[in-house]
Amino acid sequence: MSLRDGLPTHPSVVQRYSHMVETGAISRDAGQEKVAAALDRLIEQIANRRLARKSSALGWLFARNRKNSELLTGLYIHGDVGRGKTMLMDLFFELVPARGKRRAHFNDFMADVHDRIARHREALKNGEVTQKDPIPPVAEALAKDAWVLCFDEFSVTDIADAMILSRLFSALFAEGVVLVATSNVAPEDLYRDGLNRGLFEPFIDILKRHVSVLSLNGERDYRMEKLARLPVYISPLGEGADRLMDEAWKTATGGKEAHEEQLTVKGRTLEIPRAAGGAARFNFAELCERPLGARDYLAIAERYDTIFIDHVPVMDRARRNEAKRFILLIDTLYDHRIRLFLSAAAAPDRLYQAPSGTEAFEFQRTASRLHEMQSRDWAASAKSYPERS
């Protein structure tokens, strides 16, 4: 048994899960235990395949031609947010004994796929390759890089993705790729109401033939329970405030790695500097010192359920424009029942310090809403992140 970060590293997901329960890190959940056991069974199958490759006299041939290998059935774990799907995926990915493994956000994976397709087409145009269809060679290269694929937050929103998934994953599964995915929705609800969904539906059948589908929908939302114990309005500013915001961000995102996202607003691109799942994080300057308006804030509120705003300063008449944008931003987040975490230089009633003027009057409403958005009742009624499919 080895040590990692001072904690024992156990040989199975179930044992690691039990250790977390025993140490009080999490509470025991029957649904999570069932998924942990299923992940362990898959780990054993993957280990046996890897051992067979090593011990076989023809192991080199086996490794080079996965199409002739026994196909393993992966897992598709779906359920509401905060049920522990990401935590279990983390344990699986750490313990699965495959060198060729890859864990990625599904959108990042598909961006890689489209880049590879574009490079193949350019190579075809330049006469460097002869195969017109880019999907088979792209799938072969992906499988060579990683034959165990783990996707957190599996969702389909882009029509360009939807149109190639059937052929792409047919080729990946034929190459012997094993898929483990988590999602907020069951497979049959992926890309629901999407454009030309009929062309996407064959992918659902392909997916269900190559994964076992497990539901993880306990009564408790563990993410919300943790968030409810954290302060949501942190003042004054300083290292302590930054540390509390980072802790809340880690909890809200389940420890997922943040990435940049882009939203399209009336033909313009709105940059989201840090996003993970249903949460997005900005500093005050990014939201209120740039020329953003109501449509931009509305797009953010419709896309995310949890917003973090760092380093809100005290404003006065010299910062009227920033104050106007901040008022509009808070109104939008309030109207859409968004969960807000904010670090500020002063309490809500002291954030705008001009003695008179329209902004001073309007900021009274903003301060009142900021107080309300700190309450447990607000947290309980805030919207849940909608699965983007």
Q: Which of 78-82, 154-158, 218-222 has the lowest mean pLDDT?
A: 218-222
Task: Kindly state the helix (H) or strand (E) to which residue 337 belongs, with its residue range.
Answer: none
Distance CA(273)–CA(270), nearest Å, equals: 10
Distance CA(98)–CA(86), nearest Å, equals: 19
HEC string of 120-136? HHHHHHCCCCCCCCCHH
Q: What tokens were used for 101?
A: 């493994």
Q: What tokens were used for 366?
A: 């903003």
Q: What is the location of CATH 3.40.50.300 in the chain?
A: 2-215
Going by pLDDT thresholds of 50, 70 and 90, the confidence category of residue 54 is low
Distance CA(172)–CA(287), nearest Å, equals: 41
What integer pLDDT is reported at residue 9 of this predicted model?
47
Answering whether pTM is above 0.85, one says no
Q: Quick one: average pLDDT of 160-183?
A: 92
208: Cα separation from own chain's centroid? 22
What integer pLDDT is reported at residue 135 of this predicted model?
95
Question: 222-381 in CATH: which number?
Answer: 3.40.50
Distance CA(6)–CA(82), nearest Å, equals: 26
Q: What letters, b where the CB count within 10 A reaches 16 and e where it falls short, cover 333-360?
A: bbebebbbbbbbbbebeebbebeeeebb
Distance CA(9)–CA(14), nearest Å, equals: 12
Q: What letters, b where the CB count within 10 A reaches 16 and e where it falls short, cover 189-201?
A: ebbeebeeeeebe
Helix axes 13-22, 85-95, angle to 10 degrees: 130
Q: What tokens were used for 363?
A: 């900021």
What integer pLDDT is reported at residue 203 of this predicted model?
93
Distance CA(127)–CA(121), nearest Å, equals: 10
Matching CATH number, 2-215, of 3.20.20.140, 1.20.1560.10, 3.40.50.300, 3.30.70.120: 3.40.50.300
Residue 97 three-state SS: coil
Q: What tokens were used for 233?
A: 């309005």
Q: What tokens were used for 44?
A: 């054993």
CA distances from 203 to 35, 162, 208, 339 (A): 24, 9, 9, 35
Q: Which of 22-26, 118-122, 135-139, 336-340 has the lowest mean pLDDT?
A: 22-26
Of the candidates 208, 183, 207, 82, the one whose C-alpha atom is nearest the C-alpha of residue 389 is: 183
What integer pLDDT is reported at residue 111 of this predicted model?
86
Q: Quick one: average pLDDT of 242-256?
A: 87
Q: Quick one: average pLDDT of 101-127?
A: 90
Number of H helices, E strands in the chain: 15, 13
Distance CA(297)–CA(312), nearest Å, equals: 17
Residue 352 three-state SS: strand
What integer pLDDT is reported at residue 381 of this predicted model?
64
User: For the segment 208-230, what is each residue's pLDDT rounded down to a tens digit?
Assistant: 999 999 988 765 555 556 666 67
Distance CA(188)–CA(332), nearest Å, equals: 33
CA distances from 370 to 35, 257, 339, 367 (A): 40, 28, 11, 5
What integer pLDDT is reported at residue 389 of this predicted model?
33
Going by pLDDT thresholds of 50, 70 and 90, the confidence category of residue 6 is very low
- Angle CA 90–233–350, to nearest 5: 160
Q: Which of 11-15, 149-153, 189-193, 221-225 has the lowest mean pLDDT?
A: 221-225
What integer pLDDT is reported at residue 4 of this predicted model?
45
Distance CA(358)–CA(126), nearest Å, equals: 63
Rounded to the nearest integer, the mean pLDDT of the chain is 85
Instruction: Quote the percentage of the chain above a pLDDT of 70.
Output: 86
Of the candidates 106, 32, 55, the one whose C-alpha atom is nearest the C-alpha of residue 277 is: 106
